[in-house]
Amino acid sequence: MRLAADAPTPDWNLLEAAFECADPELRSYYDTVTGEVCMTGPFEDDPGERERIDADPQRYIEIEHVASRERYRWMERFALEEVADQRLRERLLRALTGSRVFRRFKDALLAAPSVRERWFVYHNSALRREIEQWFAERDLPVGTPPPWSRSPDDGAREERDGPA
């Protein structure tokens, strides 16, 4: 991800939501001028949003949702590589067969709260890598790095010394 002082600071939280969105009727766009994420669909907050995006297609880049097959791979890799308990691993892998695999996977994790928490950390990390890769592939500069890329010491140093 390329940093540039004159680049916009993306709305990182809305980017995460846009990448993770599973609703096929919603479309998300990154505004390369402001860093905002615009969403269009059947229940738009701003009915003029679609017209603004269509009027300036160079300014807005569509954000593709993370494909369900990729999210499936995250769950599979997590079960195979991150779960030491063989019985739980087998239960998670069984949940990944048949229908409603996303719901069944999460349900299987309910019996193991600490592993469930690790899943959410793993999932967030995978999602954030997707976002960073998306910016890198398009060579889109950002004004500030995403909050997740800062080390814990950065925040403590900023509090102590003030902004750099």
Q: Long-range contacts for 71-80 (Cβ within 8 Å, ≥24 apart)?
A: 71/102, 72/96, 72/101, 72/102, 74/122, 74/123, 74/126, 75/101, 75/102, 75/105, 78/119, 78/122, 78/123
Q: What is the H or E stretch that residue 28 is in?
A: strand 27-31
pLDDT (tens digit, 9 = 90+) per residue, 144-163? 999 998 755 544 434 433 44
* pLDDT of amino acid 50: 85
Mean pLDDT of 28-41: 93
The band of 137, judged by pLDDT with boundaries at 50, 70 and 90, is very high
Section 123-140 average pLDDT:
96
Given pLDDT bands bounded at 50, 70 and 90, which one contains residue 49? confident
* Average per-residue pLDDT for the chain: 89
Per-residue pLDDT of 58-85, as tens digits, reads 999 999 999 999 999 999 999 999 999 9
Stretch 29-43: mean pLDDT? 91
Radius of gyration (C-alpha) of the chain in whole angstroms: 19
**Could you say which DSSP state residue 148 is in?**
G
Residue 75's Cβ-side half-sphere holds a number of Cα atoms within 13 Å equal to 25
Paired tokens of 62 = 């569509």
- pLDDT bin (cut points 50, 70, 90) of residue 44 is low
Give percent of the chain above pLDDT 70: 88
Q: Which two tokens stand for residue 22?
A: 């599973």
DSSP letters spanning 45-99 = SSTTHHHHHHH-TTTEEEEPPPPHHHHHHHHHHHHHHH---HHHHHHHHHHTSSS
| CA separation for the pair 20, 36 (Å, rounded) | 16
Distance CA 63, CA 8 (A): 17
- So what's the pLDDT on residue 162? 43
At 164 the pLDDT is 40
Helix (H, G, I), strand (E, B) or coil at 34: coil
Domain boundaries of the chain, sorted by first residue: 2-66+130-144, 68-126
pLDDT at residue 22, rounded to an integer: 85
